[in-house]
Amino acid sequence: MLEIPVFLDSSMDCKKVKELELPKSCLIVSIRRGNKEIIPKGGTVLCSGDDLIVLANEDEAAPIKQKLLEMSSKPQV
């Protein structure tokens, strides 16, 4: 399990889960938003301040985490 923060103006901020180009072999299983736990669906919109809980195969976790951190922190273009 990986925890990925969503930062303001990142390429994930204000996007629907279904719009993300996620790496293969990973699944967003939960979104922590403040004190709430959200089970995401394709239409769930991510917000800055969210923490994504992501399930990934152990042998692929490091590169998946790196890719997701780039997506969650890089400003939108």
User: In sequence order, what are the residues at sequence separation of 6 or more whose Cβ sits closer than 8 angstroms to the Cβ of residue 67?
Assistant: 23
pTM of the model: 0.88
Q: Write down the pLDDT at residue 11.
A: 93
Q: Of 3.30.70.1450, 3.30.420.40, 3.40.30.10, 3.30.70.60, which CATH number belongs to 2-73?
A: 3.30.70.1450
Round the average pLDDT of the chain to a whole number and report it: 94
52 or 23: which carries more pLDDT confidence?
A: 52
Q: How far is CA 42 from CA 16, 20, 49, 58, in A?
A: 6, 9, 19, 24
Domain boundaries, the chain: 2-73
Mean of pLDDT values over 60-77: 87
Q: Write down the pLDDT at residue 74.
A: 74
